[in-house]
Amino acid sequence: MKKQKEFFYHALEFRQDLCMGCSHCMMKCPTEAIRVVRGKAILNADRCIDCGECYRICPYGAISVRQDDFEKIYNYKYRIVLMPAVFSAQFPDKITSDQIYSALLSLGFTHVFETENSIEFLIKPYNDYVRRHQEKPLISSFCPAIVRLIQVRFPTLTDNIMLIKPPMDVTAMYIKKRFEQAGIPWNEAGIFYVTPCAAKIAGVKSSVVEDGSLISGVINMNYLYNKVYREIKQKGFAKEDNAESGFKFMTRNSLRWSLTRGELRIVESDKKLAIDQIQNVIDFLEKLENEDTEDIDFLELRACYQSCAGGILCSGNKFLTTDRANRRANNTDNAALNKTEFEQYAPYIEDNCLLYGKIQPRSIIKLDDNMAEAMKKMKRIHEINAILPHVDCGICGAPSCQAFAEDIVQKGSDIKSCIFIQKILEQNDKLDILETVDLMKQTWDVGKLDKNKMKELNKEVNI
């Protein structure tokens, strides 16, 4: 088994040139991974789970999502695009799947497949897995942000995560097998996954798949959406076109898979639950850890509201996307599934779709590996907590007074960064005004404390 990476790869990038240090992202982060230092948001890589809540809330567009250079597709003779069903569901009704397919070919791809092509293959392994495993409830490993959330915040639940490869990897396996059987050398083929979110990128770059991901590159969905839309606008393309597409096994199950309750549909149990939106998931996992829940066999947990239709890189409105995906599913004829071809690949996929090893907990909650040391730190944190104001204003550069108390003990942050403590010290002549200005600059940089700038802005303000 390949050793799991020491550090998570992160696709979210904080741009120092655009960041205003407004602290919105810091207050929103579900794992308290962000601090403001010298006027800029700084990400703690050990804590970040790539859920993208910061990206959603940033008012200045200062957070971007890294992607591979599109030209990278030309490193390969066979250029395969792997797009999730929510991609085509972003487009207005008047644009057909055939047009999208033609546009993708016109943009340089040689083959077009949908990510959920392998869902029908996965139904049996999924249910076998649920039946065989005792560690209930089993938690789906589909959403990489959820897997990471559990690793860092709910380490006692890592054994509940299902060790089944995500559809993206299973579909890639299927494509590779098809290519090999057609005599195409695999090193000439590159698979490019179109991602709705940062989490999936991180999932590809530091994959839980032990033998390495078959995905050669990742393209952001909003980027490709714009490219495809423009291509269709400029070149037209026939609405109906009988070219052989790679949408081999798209059934109702596969079309709904990445929507909320999509996985639930295929699990044969009546004790199952689907939860979307990261805070809802956290609340539920808290309950689960206390064993304060009914018996549940299977949990579908997704970081985004409306699941992947609400991914941070989806351009369309999440409700319209969900509605279109559902309508496409309703209009899909399940009987069209090519039984012979299906049976040809099913055994191979069944044998190769499981993950081995273990998802390692990476607790961000423990104060120290050594318990005696952790206890000392905890006492210190309690003492500090008792004197902090608990208004969670964020002026110290930490998301809450509690987090600040922990930063003081863990990272040596200066308690004088708290504006309330500063006032008390000033009152007692323990701190003069110049020192407080210096302290503020350490967190908020010079820009926000530039009095000349203020004077210029408002001549009447006499400062």
Residues that bind another protein (CB under 8 A): 155-156, 286-287, 289-292, 294, 361, 363, 365-372, 374-375, 378-379, 382
Q: Does residue 28 touch ligand SF4 according to CB under 6 A? A: no
Residue 227's CB is within 10 A of a number of other CB atoms, namely 16
HSE-CB for 96 with a 13 A CA cutoff: 10
Residue located via tokens 């210190």: 380
Q: Does residue 119 touch ligand SF4 according to CB under 6 A? A: no
Determine which residue in the list 248, 302, 324, 362 makes contact with ligand SF4, applying CB under 6 A: 302
Q: Pairing relation of β-strands 272-276 and 298-302?
A: parallel
Q: Compare residues 158 and 206 and give the one whose CB is closer to another protein.
A: 158
What, of ligand SF4, another protein, none, does residue 369 touch, CB below 5 to 8 Å by kind? another protein
**Minimum CB distance to another protein, residue 157 (Å):** 9
Determine which residue in the list 29, 49, 103, 308 makes contact with ligand SF4, applying CB under 6 A: 308
Q: Compare residues 312 and 409 and give the one whose CB is closer to ligand SF4.
A: 312
What, of another protein, ligand SF4, none, does residue 372 touch, CB below 5 to 8 Å by kind? another protein
Q: Does residue 301 touch ligand SF4 according to CB under 6 A? A: no
- Say how far apart CA 26 and CA 235 lie, in whole Å: 44
**Minimum CB distance to ligand SF4, residue 145 (Å):** 4
Q: Compare residues 337 and 361 and give the one whose CB is closer to another protein.
A: 361
Q: Does residue 316 touch ligand SF4 according to CB under 6 A? A: no
132-151: contacts with ligand SF4 (CB under 6 A) = 143, 145
**Minimum CB distance to ligand SF4, residue 109 (Å):** 22
* Separation of first and last alpha carbons in the chain: 64
What, of ligand SF4, another protein, none, does residue 196 touch, CB below 5 to 8 Å by kind? ligand SF4
What, of another protein, ligand SF4, none, does residue 296 touch, CB below 5 to 8 Å by kind? none
161-220: contacts with ligand SF4 (CB under 6 A) = 196-197, 199-200
**Minimum CB distance to ligand SF4, residue 199 (Å):** 4
Q: Compare residues 400 and 443 and give the one whose CB is closer to another protein.
A: 400
Determine which residue in the list 220, 245, 307, 417 makes contact with ligand SF4, applying CB under 6 A: 307
Q: Compare residues 140 and 413 and give the one whose CB is closer to ligand SF4.
A: 140
234-293: contacts with ligand SF4 (CB under 6 A) = none
**Residues in contact with ligand SF4 by the rule CB under 6 A:** 143, 145, 196-197, 199-200, 302-304, 307-308, 311
